[in-house]
Amino acid sequence: MSIRMFSRPRLTRILPLLGSALLLSACGQDMSDLEPYIAEVKARKSRAIEPIPQVKQYEAFTYEARGRRDPFVKLEPERSDSGQVASVGNGIRPDFNRNREPLEEFPLDSLRMVGTIVLKGTTYSLIKAPDSVIHRVVIGDHMGQNYGRIIGINETEVALVEIIPDGFGGWMERPAALALTEN
């Protein structure tokens, strides 16, 4: 008895035929559940699509200065008849030449008043900074990042006046207070 082996050229012809027959057999599955779904989708009412908005026609504008100042040139300060430069704003501004105090590096809302003490007739307020250091302050000291100056101290709060930009190149004063906390 002899076993006859397929030759290699014959095998290369049979394998692709078997593979394509296998793939085609997978396509013949039952799709009866798909047909009602397709019918339902086709039966749905379609919504109207909004039209594309019309683009407005661009209108060119030509700027003519006609004696107006150049908006890209910095204004020179106005001088009065005596040659003095007119002051901008109301004259309020922080003193940039003074040395900054330790509590001015913290925002005012991060500082906590923890108490008051009176020594030799002077009332001091005890302020706790975010770094947990307690500072002793008196009227006239500064604290907060908006150039706050202490104007009053009592048992329940420290009253301040802050100097903030007014949005027009000048400065304005704003009252603020730091209340006693129980923590």
Q: What ranges do the domains of the chain cover?
A: 102-179
Question: Per-residue pLDDT tens for 23-57?
Answer: 777 666 677 788 888 889 888 888 888 898 898 88
Q: Where residue 86 falls among pLDDT bands split at 50, 70, 90? A: very low
Higher per-residue pLDDT: 73 or 40: 40
- Return left, alpha or beta for 97; rule: phi > 0 is left, psi -120 to 50 is alpha, else beta: alpha
* Residue 8 pLDDT > 70: no
Specify the pairing of strand 142-143 against strand 134-137: unpaired
Question: Per-residue pLDDT tens for 87-114?
Answer: 556 678 888 888 999 999 999 999 999 9
The pTM for the full model equals 0.51
* Residue 84 pLDDT > 60: no
Tell me the chain's radius of gyration from C-alpha atoms: 42
CATH architecture of 102-179: Roll (2.30)
Residue 181 CB coordination number (10 Å): 11
Question: What's the mean pLDDT in 66-80?
Answer: 71
* Distance from C-alpha of 11 to C-alpha of 5, rounded to nearest angstrom: 10
